[in-house]
Chain A
Amino acid sequence: MSNIKVNRERSALSPEEMKGAKNFDALLQQYQAMHPDRSGLPRGMGRKRWLAMGLAAVSLTGIVLFGWMIVHRVHTRGTHPLLSAALRRGIVNPPIPAANVMLTAYSVDAAQGAVLSYPTGTHILVPAHAFLDEKGAVVQGAVRLQYREWHNPVDIMLSGIPMNYDSGGQKMRFESAGMMQMLASQNGHPLSVNPEAMIQVNLRTTDTGSRYNLYYLDTLSGQWVYKQKVRTNPGITFAAGKQAGAGAGDRTPQTDGGLGVAAFPSDTDMGDLPQKPVEPVAADPSRPVFNIAVNEQEFPEIAVYKNVQFQVTADEQHFNADYEKLTWNNAVVKPGTEAGTYLVTFERFLNQQGKKQSITFKTRPVFTGGDLAAAQEKFHQLFAAYQEKLEQKRAAAKAARGKDSLQFAQKVRIANQLLQAQADTLVKRQQQFIAAMQLQNQQLLNRAFNVSDSLFTLIQVDRFGFWNNDAPYPFAGARTRKASFVLMDEEERPLVVADLFFLIKSKNSCCLIHPGQSILSSGLVYTLNYDPEEANLFWAITTDFHLAVLDPQDFEFCMKGNRDELVKLKLKVSPRRFSDATEINQYLMDNSFASDNEPSSGK
């Protein structure tokens, strides 16, 4: 362990440091950013999941073969591995979680309450102080309320919510006129309803009548609990309430209206400035001075003065006093790199062939004697004029800048507004599209299952969870017959399914059917009571997420002449797997009602 560092008696983490580092909101945001489409199925599991499911199917098939080798021995429910998964699972089990209706989230100010709208037309009236925490105290602040509904048989199937009901020992199935689930939490902690301020849901319903009751699902026992007869209302009016928008569950895109940085006028850009006059300086008597006539046009700042002389600067080290004794033929003046200095180059010819000597010194313009006073007076005049011009320039530049900056800010504001409007339009279109799709799906299914769609059930929610507006109907009746069957695919091979659902076209119902107590070489045996006068059909979801359908005509055909014998129901299995609710809807509709020749049905 020579490459291991050892720390001795390091300082411990203080409670404040621990608390400061804790940030669930940031963690949740990070999680949501990494998994924006997590809707039930694990991401990236694709091939592995199908491989696992394939292996499970192979294993199950192997167990079926083993059962066949035992020569038709009957196994009890408690020991045989080929029992329906629903028997072992909990109460609510969506068969394809990704296709289930998603919870819509709202943020509600608990102290104020809110009126919430759901895309189906349902309204949720949340009064003030409607929430209690785990200790029973009234909750203040923002509450996360989540809500969803199921209305049609496909949604009900995909919800995994049980639709069987035990009415005093009599087994019934539910025909639903709308189901909903509501949850509330604050900072991840579940809340309950304040009995003194109960939430009212005006649930859009697909049917009405005295046979409909309101039920609440007890998720511990898995039983529906009768609450009351439903109250329906064809129209909803509310007192003006506070509208709350969707909260964290909404996918409204965020816009920042960024435009990028436009070029903005510089503060120092004032255009051409007036020439600053050179301040006259007295000559230093210890150093030599030169008299040089300068071009007025080239050096106007010097030409304004009279009798300007040039003196070598104190830091000039190349000057030699002997140079004064020489006769120079020419002198050239240039502005120096330092303000107020000039470079003077002296030249003299050394021979007739043109050989020259030149030396350059840094100099300053200076004045001596009375020339200095006159120059200083001149300087003051010039400088005053210069200052005035400078101020005028600055004022003009400032005015120009102000106008430009105002225009720039306006441009930014307008651009931001345009971007925001585009984003809002996009969101609105998305929401309209989703609502239209939902409505279209709903209307499609409503037409298929003979239900209306313009009523509302009033539900007073005294607890969060699953609520159902249902009309129970018995398993067995005067016309019902008992059927025992095994499932096959179209090639008459045993079909193993994860879930089997039984539907009656005239009822908005979709019930999970559990296998019976026996298994044969041909598969699990199911039994159920059915009304031959109804259009009965089956939907199934296989263990690898294929859909399987037996339409009413095929069921009727299978049951003809086989009343007391084991029937083989041949389901049509989809060629591909499904995980999207819309596609599932479409496939089941396309394959469930192929013919118009259906038995007459009545409610």
Chain B
Amino acid sequence: MISSTFTGMSSYHQLPAAVQSDQDCVVRSLEDMALFQPLYDKYYESILGFIYLRVDSKEEAFDITQQVFLQAMSNLRKYSFRGLPFSSWLYRIAVHEIGNHFRRNRQRECINLEERHLKNVADELPDGEQDIKMEILAGCLQALGGKDFELIQMRFFERRSFAEIAEILGLTENHAKVKTYRLLEKLRVKLNRNR
């Protein structure tokens, strides 16, 4: 059910006016889906970037991105406004579509690592343990596990807040925090074994 009333809750990374503007666009789109375009224009590149970080090729990223927006339009009536950015819902759909993609095509999942991402993770390690070799860190990240790596990716590669991570992954904010720090501890243990 869609309520057009905006209660003035604060929302991460966007001003309340921007969040309300998105909601107004959603309401208009329910009458005429052609009016969904402003939302498409606004979030296309960020969704594409999110997906590209998680798939093997650009072509796959383009296809899945288009599928995400198609799913969003097809299921717009189920969208429930809770004062959070519309993009959170899009990211959720994207996570789902990426999983579907790998299952449908029976492909190996893939992770994409860059030097700067690895440095972000290394910076989170305790002092004295940050001079880890990137190759060892990459290997330990690879060994973490699909869901665990996703959490690391969102927090340290993409610099998302815990609130946003929670919204995208369907967790509570506290749960997202606890999971992330446990993962860092797990990673630290692996790194120490490999030094």
- Whether chain B is bound by chain A comes out as yes
Q: Which residues of A contact B (CB under 8 A)?
A: 1, 3-10, 13, 17-18, 21-24, 26-28, 30-32, 34-35, 38, 42, 88, 90, 103, 144, 146, 183, 185, 187-190, 248
Minimum distance in angstroms from B141 CB to a CB of chain A: 9
A-B contact sample (11 more), CB < 8 A, given A1-B145, A185-B32? A1-B142, A1-B146, A4-B142, A6-B142, A8-B113, A9-B114, A17-B58, A24-B41, A27-B40, A42-B78, A183-B32
Interface centre among A17, A27, A189 (most CB of B within 10 A): A27
Q: Are A35 and B74 in contact (CB under 8 A)?
A: yes
Chain B residues near A248: list those with CB within 8 A. 34
Q: Shortest distance in angstroms between A392's beta carbon and chain B's nearest beta carbon?
A: 58
A5 to B110, Cβ gap below 8 A?
Answer: yes
Tell me if A90 and B74 are in contact (CB < 8 A).
Answer: no
Quick one: CB contact mask for B28-66 with A, threshold 8 Å, 1 for yes? 100111111110110011001100100010100110011
Chain B contacts to A: CB under 8 angstroms? 3-4, 28, 31-38, 40-41, 44-45, 48-49, 52, 56, 58, 61-62, 65-66, 69-70, 73-74, 77-78, 108-115, 138, 142-146, 149
A147→B90 CA distance, assembly (Å): 31
Question: Are A1 and B40 neighbours in the complex by a CB distance under 8 Å?
Answer: no
- In the complex, what residues of A have CB within 8 A of residue B114's CB? 8-10
List the A residue with the shortest CB-CB distance to B49: A13
Q: For B32, give its contact among A5, A13, A103 (CB under 8 Å).
A: A103
Give the chain A neighbours of B40 by CB distance below 8 A.
Answer: 22, 24, 27, 188
Rounded to whole angstroms, the CA-CA distance of A42 and B2 in the bound complex is: 14
**Is A21 touching B62 in the complex (CB atoms < 8 A)?**
yes
What's the minimum C-beta distance from B144 to chain A, rounded to whole angstroms?
7
A103 cross-chain contacts in B, Cβ below 8 A = 31-32
CA–CA, A397 and B68, complex, Å = 59
A13 to B145 Cα, complex, angstroms: 26
Q: Which of A10, A183, A188 has the most CB of B within 10 A?
A: A188
**What distance in Å separates the Cβ of B134 from its nearest Cβ neighbour in chain A?**
9
Given that A6-B138, A31-B73 are contacting pairs, would A185 and B35 also be in contact in the complex, using a CB cutoff of 8 Å? yes
CB distance from A186 to the nearest CB of B (A): 10
Q: Are A7 and B111 in contact (CB under 8 A)?
A: yes
Among B4, B74, B110, the residue within 8 A (CB) of A6 is B110
11 intermolecular pairs with C-beta atoms under 8 Å apart: A1-B142, A4-B110, A5-B108, A7-B110, A7-B111, A8-B112, A13-B61, A21-B62, A24-B37, A88-B3, A185-B32
Bound-state Cα–Cα, A185 to B3, Å: 23
Q: Which residue of A lies closest to B2 (CB)?
A: A90
| Across-interface contacts of A32 in B (CB, < 8 A) | 33
Q: Indicate the member of A23, A28, A34, A187 with the most B CB atoms within 10 Å.
A: A28
**B112 A10 Cβ-Cβ under 8 A:** yes
List chain A residues, Cβ under 8 A from B28.
190
Given contacts A5-B56, A35-B74, contact A144 B113 (CB under 8 A): no
Neighbouring B residues of A90 by C-beta, 8 Å: 3-4
Minimal beta-carbon separation of A103 from chain B (angstroms): 7
Q: Are B144 and A1 in contact (CB under 8 A)?
A: yes
Residues of B near A3 (CB, < 8 A) are 108-109
Please give me the residue from chain B that is nearest to A43 by CB atom. Answer: B74
Kindly list chain B residues whose C-beta atoms are within 8 Å of the C-beta of A4: 108-111, 142, 146
Query: Nearest Cβ in chain A — how far from B99, in angstroms?
Result: 14
**Distance of B93 from chain A, by nearest CB (Å):** 14
Contact in complex: B111, A188 (CB < 8 Å): no
The interface residues of chain A lying within 8 Å CB-to-CB of B110 are 4-7
Are the C-beta atoms of B113 and A7 separated by less than 8 Å? yes
Q: B111 and A6: CB pair below 8 A? A: yes
B147 smallest CB distance to A (angstroms): 11
Cα of A42 to Cα of B74 in the assembled complex, Å? 9
Residues of B within 8 A of A17 (CB): 58
Q: How far is the CA of A126 from the CA of B138 in the complex (A)?
A: 63
Contacts of B138 in A (CB 8 A): 6, 8
- Tell me how far the C-beta of B53 lies from the nearest C-beta in chain A, rounded to whole angstroms: 9
Whole-angstrom distance between the alpha carbons of A415 and B110 in the complex?
54
Q: Is the CB of B61 within 8 A of A27?
A: no
| Cβ distance B155 to chain A, nearest Cβ, rounded Å | 18
Q: Residue on B with the closest CB to A19?
A: B45
